[in-house]
Structure 1
Amino acid sequence: MKKFKPNYDEGMWKGAPESSFVKAKALRKDETQAEKILWAKLRNNQLKGYKFRRQHPIGLYIVDFYCHQLKLVIEIDGDYHNIQEQIEKDKERTQNLETDGLQLIRFTNKDVMENLEKIISEIMIKTDEIFHSHNSNQSL
Structure 2
Amino acid sequence: MSVVQARRLRKKMTPQEVKLWKHLRQLRLQGYHLRRQISIGRFVADFACKRRRLVIEVDGNQHGYAKGLAHDATRDAFLEKLGYRVMRFSNHDVDRSLPEVMDTIFHALETRWAREE
Q: TM tier, shorter chain?
A: over 0.9
Q: Which runs of 5+ in 1 are unaligned?
A: 1-16, 136-140
Q: Which runs of 5+ in 2 are unaligned?
A: none
Alpha-carbon distance, 1:45 to partner? 4.2
> Is the aligned partner of 1:122 residue 2:107?
no
Name the residue aligned to 1:55: 37
One-letter identity of the residue aligned with 1:126: A
Bigger RCO of structures 1 and 2 (CA < 8 A, at least 6 apart): 2
Please give the alpha-carbon distance, in whole angstroms, between the structure 2 residues aligned to 1:114 and 1:46. Answer: 24
Please give the alpha-carbon distance, in whole angstroms, between the structure 2 residues aligned to 1:76 and 1:48. Answer: 22
Name the residue aligned to 2:21: 39
**Which of the numbers 103, 106, 112 marks the counterpart of 2:85?**
103
Name the one with the larger helix percent: 2
Q: Is the 8 A contact 1:65 1:75 kept in 2?
A: yes
The C-alpha deviation readout for 1:69-123, integer Å capped at 9, x for no partner, is 1011101100000011210110111011000111110101110011000000000
TM-score between the two structures when normalised by the length of structure 1: 0.79
Please give the alpha-carbon distance, in whole angstroms, between the structure 2 residues aligned to 1:128 and 1:50. Answer: 10
Alpha-carbon distance, 1:44 to partner? 5.5
Question: Percent same amino acid among aligned pairs?
Answer: 36
> Is the aligned partner of 1:23 residue 2:5?
yes
| Aligned length in residues | 117
Please give the alpha-carbon distance, in whole angstroms, between the structure 2 residues aligned to 1:44 and 1:112. Answer: 16
Alpha-carbon distance, 1:40 to partner? 0.2
> Is the aligned partner of 1:69 residue 2:29?
no
Please give the alpha-carbon distance, in whole angstroms, between the structure 2 residues aligned to 1:122 and 1:75. Answer: 13
Please give the alpha-carbon distance, in whole angstroms, between the structure 1 residues aligned to 2:67 and 2:11. Answer: 27
